């Protein structure tokens, strides 16, 4: 295995502590893909937790702006600030990838406040710009992809993770769903499944080199199917996959390349 820099070792630790599911997906990827995934996933951990580290919206906005400024340095090809995550991230991203992650940050501003989503389009855009853009930025950094294929898989992953997070979001005073009834949860999960199937039917649009980025979707199908069959489980955190089944699924998808 190629030796990781101290920065990338730090990124791996951030992901392991803050996003264990994506850490497992990165560890199941090829050794050549891991540096890219660790850097981008560590960025996502830092950005996603920024709105929750303070009760002051202005401070949260400033934290997110710091990351936007760092990405702007990458976009402009300027000297990038020295930072455990930003330094390796700059080595992995081109300007377009940095713009994708900047759009992710803008979407994350919703996390700062307690306003509900305006409508279905707003929720869809949030999931696409967070989970979708994250997956697309990682995939593009690894190899050739068709953006629409990756975005479908990223959206489905976002829906699955969002449904898992409902209890924590509600406890924090957020309004995660437009329609929290079982019918609304089922409809959201069905849409996620539809887009996951669409992505898989167009697997040819993701090069072999880029496939490790889509391993992050390994749990999505099982979670979404469970939400369709038993939507009432979402409110009490009952959508979590079986650890043993989850591990076997990840192993099978990483070996077979059939994300």
The 3-class secondary structure across 16-33, one letter per residue, is HHHCHHHHHHHHHCCCCC
Are residues 178 and 145 part of one domain? yes
Are residues 127 and 108 part of one domain? no
Are residues 133 and 98 part of one domain? no
Are residues 127 and 107 part of one domain? no
Look at residues 160, 152, 249, 252 and name the one whose alpha carbon lies nearest to residue 203. 152
Least confident of 169-173, 189-193, 198-202: 169-173
Q: How far apart (Å, rounded) are the C-alpha atoms in residues 192 and 115?
A: 23
Domain count, the chain: 2
Least confident of 19-23, 45-49, 107-111, 250-254: 250-254
Q: Reply yes or no on whether the pLDDT at 2 is more than 70.
A: no
Last residue of one domain, picked from the residues 113, 134, 161: 113
Are residues 232 and 124 part of one domain? yes
Look at residues 33, 10, 36 and name the one whose alpha carbon lies nearest to residue 101. 36
Are residues 145 and 211 part of one domain? yes
Q: What is the mean pLDDT of residues 100-119?
A: 96
Are residues 146 and 82 part of one domain? no
Q: What is the mean pLDDT of residues 87-95?
A: 97
Q: What is the mean pLDDT of residues 5-25?
A: 97
Are residues 128 and 109 part of one domain? no
Q: Give the tokens for residue 174.
A: 């957020």
**pLDDT, position 164:** 97
**pLDDT, position 256:** 84
Domain extent at residue 201 = 119-259
Are residues 257 and 146 part of one domain? yes
Look at residues 104, 258, 250 and name the one whose alpha carbon lies nearest to residue 196. 258
Q: Reply yes or no on whether the pLDDT at 138 is more than 50.
A: yes
Q: Reply yes or no on whether the pLDDT at 51 is more than 90.
A: yes
pTM of the predicted protein model: 0.95
Q: Reply yes or no on whether the pLDDT at 1 is more than 70.
A: no
Angle between helices 243-256 and 220-229 (to 10 degrees): 130
């Amino acid at each position: 295995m190629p030796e990781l820099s101290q920065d990338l070792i730090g990124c791996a630790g951030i992901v392991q502590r803050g996003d264990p599911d994506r850490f497992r997906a990165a560890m199941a990827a090829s050794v050549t893909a891991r540096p890219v995934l660790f850097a981008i996933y560590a960025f996502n951990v830092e950005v996603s937790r920024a709105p929750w580290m303070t009760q002051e919206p202005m401070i949260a906005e400033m934290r997110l702006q710091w990351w936007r400024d760092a990405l702007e340095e990458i976009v402009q090809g300027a000297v990038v600030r020295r930072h455990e995550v930003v330094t390796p991230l700059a080595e992995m991203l081109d300007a377009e990838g940095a713009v994708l992650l900047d759009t992710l940050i803008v979407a994350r501003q919703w996390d700062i406040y307690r306003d509900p989503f305006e409508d279905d389009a707003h929720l869809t855009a949030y999931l696409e710009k967070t989970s979708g853009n994250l997956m697309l930025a990682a995939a593009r950094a690894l190899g050739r992809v068709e953006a629409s294929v990756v975005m479908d898989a990223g959206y489905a992953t976002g829906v699955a993770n969002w449904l898992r997070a409902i209890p924590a979001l509600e406890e924090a005073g957020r309004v995660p769903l437009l329609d929290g009834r079982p019918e609304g949860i089922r409809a959201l999960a069905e849409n996620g499944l539809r887009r996951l199937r669409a992505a898989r039917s167009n697997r040819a649009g993701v090069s072999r080199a880029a496939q490790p980025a889509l391993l992050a979707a390994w749990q999505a199908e099982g979670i979404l199917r469970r939400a369709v069959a038993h939507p009432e489980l979402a409110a009490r955190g009952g959508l979590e996959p079986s650890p043993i089944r989850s591990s076997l699924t990840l192993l099978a998808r990483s070996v077979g390349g059939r994300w």
